[in-house]
Structure 1
Amino acid sequence: MTDDSKYEAVCSRDSRFDGEFFLAVSTTGIYCRPSCPANTPKRKNVRFFTTAAAAQGAGFRACRRCRPDAVPGSAEWNTRADVVGRAMRLIGDGVVDREGVAGLAGRLGYSSRQVQRQLNAELGAGPLALARAQRGHTARILLQTTSMQAAEIAFAAGFASVRQFNDTIREIYAATPSELRAARPGQGARFGPVGSQDGAAGIPLRLAFRGPYASAEVFDYLGARTLAGAEEITGERGARVYRRTLRLPNGAGIAEVGETPGAGGWLECRLHLADLRDLTTATQRVRRLFDLDADPYAVGERLGADPALAPLVALRPGLRAPGAADPHELAVRAVLGQQVSVAAGRRLGEALLAAYGEPLRTPSGGLTRLFPSAERLAEAALGELGMPDSRRDTVRAVSAALADGAVRLDPGADRDEAEKALLGLRGVGPWTAGYIRMRALSDPDVLLTADVAVRAGMRATGAAAVDSEAWRPWRSYAMHHFWNAAKDRGDFKRDTHEAHDEHEHERKDR
């Protein structure tokens, strides 16, 4: 977009661009989201920034009316496979807070100076500034949704000192922590409050998304794959709550996400954390699981241009491609699901969880265990699982590769390299590697043409694989449309959306 087209979006208060860019007003010293309800500033007084951190670095403070720090993330960071895209995903996961800029650079395979230069050149802010803006957002949430002391919030949000916390809050919000807490958004605010003011039963969040959101399909997809003990869905369709355990850097956690989207474009979420330093990481992992940073307008425009896909896009606007809350867990479950139905893969996963999962210190409802770590599974006998020895070997091989770093599935992993490394493991074929790439690495451009259900959906709609190049970079969404089309027809007998070509795996197993 040009600056003029961005200004047109601001004039029309177009929420489609919330999170894609920010505008700052030189006469007020404030930066906002494009859909801010305040009076539209004059064009000559407006500057545009790619990130909130860049606006803050230029001396602007966040608007208290539209809360630009509460927007969904840019879909660009998921589609891009370059250093900047990978860095943004890692920063979102809290890597800079845990490992510093050197740790971020090491994961990317570049020097700290190179990473700093590339981020500054393209985004107008370096890794420290981007992480600082994220810490400020986390601190605001804790200030306005819990009764924690300010000093506790400072360290929970990732600040090195209370003084650094106070200075950052004043710079970003032009208010002290006490003033920010006193200014909790009321029910009448344009974008609603962050959550309830009682944080005793977990931290309430509103996870923003843009455009339509096909929540029923997402909950159906996750519900068909829940592992008893680590996941559960409660309530009736239309008002369900998805709950799951989380293995986080500093301890365990539980996430609860409601099915019904709020009128302002958010999903209600509540996080229960053993260590509040994991708030940022837990939030980002839930966002990836529910694909909340997607751009359904761009997806719909590209896929809707294909005559075969257009009716599917119209039938399910805002269809998402769920990611994974734990990439290592997803990789193991993908291997368990080879050559079997979703229900059978689910039973294998539950047997694995019962035998090797780590018990929660305090069970919550049906949630009693964390999925076993890759390190534990790499040495496990796996005799409890009713599957061929060759498949057990594959589970152990994948787990060992994840444990020793031979295969990397963190948010900043190079997707091509990760897929190549997976394919080098015995028992892992293109379907499994592609499925892991789509979900564990949140790649929006995966198409499993060997998948039986995908082929059934394509036949049902008249879509052709030769046309798939025109669907880039959103082929993962096309695949979800095909899975749903196959299910809608009712002529696909197997209990799965993901049944795949078994011959390749049979050859590898032999």
Structure 2
Amino acid sequence: MCSEAEGVLTNESCRRARLARDPRFDGVFFIGVLTTGIFCRSICPATPPKEKNVRYFSTAIEAANAGLRPCLRCRPDSAPGSFAWKGTDTTVERALSLIDDGFLFGDSPGSLESLAQKLGITSRYLRKLFADKVGTSPNKYAQFRQLMFAKQLLHQTDLSMTQVGLAAGFTSIRRFNEVFQQTLALTPSALRKSRGSRQSELSHEGSEIRLSMQFSYRPPLNWQKQLDFYRLRMVEGMEWEADLEGYSRSFQLGDVKGFFEAKHDEVKHRFNVIIHLVDPQALPVLSEVVAQIKRVLDLDADMFQIQTSLSSIGIIKNSIVDGLRLPGTWSAFEAGCRAILGQQVSVVQATKLLNRLVEANGERLTISGREILLFPTPLAIANASLDELKMPGARKAALNAFGTFVSQHPDAPVDDWLNIKGIGPWTVAYAKMRGLSDPNILLCSDLIVKKRVLKRYEALQSSETDLKANLDISYKTITQQLEQSISPWGSYLTFQLWNLE
């Protein structure tokens, strides 16, 4: 239930938001309608129920655990992801990410104990964290995520029942039907019929698959700024614009290869996304592909909460760019390569180097009639001559060593990259911010960030006569204070500082 004690919203705030159908709170809380036994999003188009018949929930799974089923009109499965504590509890956030990627379900599911071991905690403590933060157990969360993804596919696509079950991580269509009906109080086929007739969203082209979906977000979103950021750093053949308003790029996830096209629908606060896959057998990792696309576009960000925190920072509170998000890369490895190539050169020069790197070492293939380039694998970078790059030999050696390390240790934490000669804290921090979408990276060592922080700080603290005399010490103190005050949204402060005029 919404409450200030939990650091979320009061019931009165939830009431006002639902009556206004405020999209800024879509997915931040859910509305349980006790008289009908359903739960809805804050933007549900149905006639608002009386307040006495309403109960508010922080998450969809809490509403489901209370015996409520998801609304067929507003479809809670399509709401942007949200947890009030997101960014403040990295252990639970990492656990959720692993579960969303299929750790506890699919062909070779891991055990709860192996998940806890991967997180460096006991299974008992993991259960306690989930009970406190998520309101359910890890296994029940995993099953609920499977069902919500399946429900989304049933609503938005024409995948067969077997394909939907497979994509959602069920190894048996019988088990899929059974769990779906038990939890959501209707069968998959009944839900598919309830949506009515529609134009097919699924097509096969030879051995390829093309799938259309819609991903919602909470406004504000400054898509023009985000697109401008991508545009300046685009790699030809790997990234491109769609009708001047969209963003498309190729990707590789394990053995799965493809590309996506994302077009912004500002009116409906969503992106219409077409996913192209080389092989229909890739369906079992579709949920991970979807999660990656949403992360790259930063669609689950709660900008209302983030900008409320940013407004408390004196050096930018009067200059905040509304709706500024984190434009991600497909992987931490790609972000690391971008950072190495960007050392001590301009963005334009770094992008030229990146284009040459991908052109010389990336795999070229044709999908859905379009010739694309994939970002080079770590092994390809490890073995590359890099003769195409006009840059110091030390940086080439660092790039080769980086590829070697990641190819040999694909699951190593990004912080371990500091053991590689030529890779420092800035490169690691940049990779975390753009490759992992870590929300709490204030790039203090970035020259632009440093100049703009000091300039703004001097304007606010003009009476500090010893500021320039103790520049390094003072800057360290200033940024430590900024990191504490803006946590866990340091990455958003970094992008705000980069966008200051």
Q: TM-score range by the shorter chain?
A: 0.7 to 0.9
Q: Give the superposition deviation at 1:40.
A: 4.8
SS of the residue corresponding to residue 499 of structure 2 reads helix
Q: Which amino acid aligns with 1:2?
A: S
The answer to whether the 8 Å contact 1:77/1:85 transfers is no
Alignment partner of 1:256: what SS? strand
1:502 corresponds to = none
Question: Relative to 1, partners in 2 of residues 1:378 and 1:185: Cα closer, same or farther, differing over 3 Å?
Answer: farther
Please state if 1:272 is matched with 2:282: no
Matched, 1:255 2:260: yes
Which residue type is aligned with residue 438 of structure 1?
M
Aligned residue number for residue 100 of structure 1:
110
Alignment of 1:242 onto 2:254: no
Give, in angstroms, the shift of residue 213 of structure 1: 0.3
What secondary structure sits across from 1:378 in the alignment? helix
Aligned length: 462
Corresponding residue for residue 127 of structure 1: 138
Letter in 2 for 1:125: T
User: What is aligned with 2:311?
Assistant: 304
RMSD of the alignment, in Å?
2.8
Report the equivalent of 2:291.
284
**Aligned AA for 1:425?**
I
CA distance in 1 between counterparts of 2:351 and 2:287 reads: 29
Q: Which residue of 2 aligns with 1:54?
A: 62
Contact 2:44–2:73 at 8 Å: present in 1 too?
A: yes
Q: State the AA in 2 paired with 1:226.
A: M
> Are 2:418 and 1:423 equivalent residues in the alignment?
yes
- Residues 406, 161 of structure 1: alpha-carbon distance in 2 compared, 3 angstrom cutoff: closer
3-state secondary structure, aligned to 1:270: strand
C-alpha contact 2:378 2:407 (8 A) present in aligned 1: yes
Q: Secondary structure at the match of 2:110?
A: helix
Is residue 476 from structure 1 mapped to residue 477 from structure 2 by the alignment? no
1:388 and 1:123 map into 2 onto residues whose CA distance is: 49
CA distance in 2 between counterparts of 1:369 and 1:289 reads 18
- Aligned partners of 1:216, 1:454: CA distance in 2, in Å? 22
User: Quick check: 2:360–2:388 contact (8 Å CA) kept in 1?
Assistant: yes
1:7 is aligned to: 11
Q: Distance in 2 between matches of 1:184 and 1:262?
A: 24
Match of 2:91 in 1: 83
* Structure 1 contact 213–317 (Cα < 8 Å) conserved: yes
| 1:439 aligned onto 2:450 | no
- The amino acid across from 1:159 in the alignment is F
Q: Deviations over 1:184-224 (max 9, x none)?
A: 279xxxxxxxx964322722222111121000011111111
Q: Deviations over 1:296-320 (max 9, x none)?
A: 112222222334312321xx21111
1:101 and 1:348, CA in 2 relative to 1: closer, same or farther beyond 3 A?
farther
Q: Residues 35, 3 of structure 1: CA spacing in aligned structure 2 closer, same or farther, 3 A cutoff?
A: farther
Structure 1 counterpart of 2:203? 200
Query: What amino acid maps onto 2:303 in structure 1?
Result: P
Q: Distance in 2 between matches of 1:250 and 1:48?
A: 42
The structure 2 residue matched to 1:392, chosen from 375, 396, 418, is 396
Q: Contact conserved, 2:298 with 2:325, CA < 8 A, in 1? A: yes
Distance 2:276 2:344 in 1: 36
Equivalent in 189, 205, 220 of residue 178 of structure 1: 189
The code of the aligned residue for 1:289 comes to V
1:414 matched to which residue of 2?
none
- The CA deviation at 1:78 is 4.6
Structure 1 residues 235 and 91: CA distance shift in structure 2, 3 A: same
| Aligned residue number for residue 337 of structure 1 | 342
Greater shift in the superposed pair: 86-95 or 316-325:
86-95
Counterparts of 1:334-373 in structure 2, within 5 Å, are 334-362=339-367, 364-365=369-370, 367-373=371-377
Compute the displacement of 1:401 (Å).
2.9
Whole-angstrom distance in 2 between the partners of 1:94 and 1:223: 32
Contact 1:10 1:35 (8 Å CA) reproduced: no
User: Could you tell me whether the CA contact under 8 Å between 1:166 and 1:176 is conserved in 2?
Assistant: yes
Give the match for residue 498 of structure 1. Answer: none
Q: Give the drift of 1:295.
A: 1.6
Structure 1 segments unaligned to the other structure (5+ residues) = 187-194, 410-417, 489-510
Distance 2:488 2:342 in 1: 26
Q: Quote the residue 1:494 is aligned against.
A: none
Distance in 1 (CA, whole Å) between partners of 2:460 and 2:43 is 37
Does the CA-based 8 Å contact 2:27-2:82 persist in structure 1?
A: yes
Q: Distance in 2 between matches of 1:456 and 1:342?
A: 17
Q: Which secondary structure state, in structure 2, belongs to the residue aligned with residue 312 of structure 1?
A: coil
Secondary structure class of the residue paired with 1:94 = coil
Q: Distance in 2 between matches of 1:265 and 1:59?
A: 29
Mapped to 2, the partners of 1:25 and 1:61 lie a distance apart of: 10
- Show the counterpart of 1:192: none
CA contact (8 A) 2:77 2:152 kept: no
What secondary structure is seen at the aligned counterpart in 1 of 2:97? helix
Residue 172 of structure 1 deviates from its aligned partner by 4.2
| Shift in alpha-carbon separation, 1:45–1:437, aligned structure 2, 3 A | same
The within-5 A match list for 1:152-163 is: 152-163=163-174
Give unpaired runs (5+ residues) of structure 2. 205-209, 462-474
The alignment's TM-score, normalised by the length of structure 1, stands at 0.82
Give the residue type in structure 2 aligned to 1:134. R
Match of 1:448 in 2: 443
**Is the CA contact 2:276–2:368 (under 8 Å) kept in the aligned structure 1?**
no
Alignment pair present for 1:317 and 2:322: yes
Cα distance, 1:322–1:128 mapped onto 2, change above 3 Å: same
Q: Aligned ranges for residues 486-501 of structure 1 at < 5 Å? A: 488=501
Q: Deviations over 1:410-464 (max 9, x none)?
A: xxxxxxxx33x23332111222122112112212222223322223444665478
Q: Distance in 2 between matches of 1:215 and 1:438?
A: 19
Q: Is the 8 A contact 1:262 1:268 kept in 2?
A: no
Identify if the C-alpha distance between structure 1 residues 440 and 340 changes in structure 2 by more than 3 Å, giving closer, same or farther.
same
Amino acid at match of 1:221: F
| 1:267 to partner: Cα distance | 1.7
Aligned residue in 1 for 2:175: 164
In the alignment, the residues of structure 2 paired with residue 480 and residue 226 of structure 1 have an alpha-carbon distance, to the nearest angstrom, of 18
Is the alpha carbon distance of 1:31 and 1:52 closer, same or farther for their aligned partners in structure 2, counting shifts above 3 Å?
same
**Offset, 1:397:** 2.5
Letter aligned with residue 137 of structure 1: M
Match of 2:161 in 1: 150
What is the Cα deviation at residue 256 of structure 1? 0.8
Once the 2 structures are TM-superposed, how far is the Cα of residue 358 of structure 1 from its aligned partner? Answer: 2.2
Query: 2:389 and 2:85 mapped to 1: Cα distance?
Result: 38
CA 1:393–1:435: 2 relative to 1, 3 Å: same
Could you tell which deviates more after superposition, 217-226 or 153-162? 153-162
TM-score (norm 2): 0.83
Change (3 A) 1:357 1:2: same
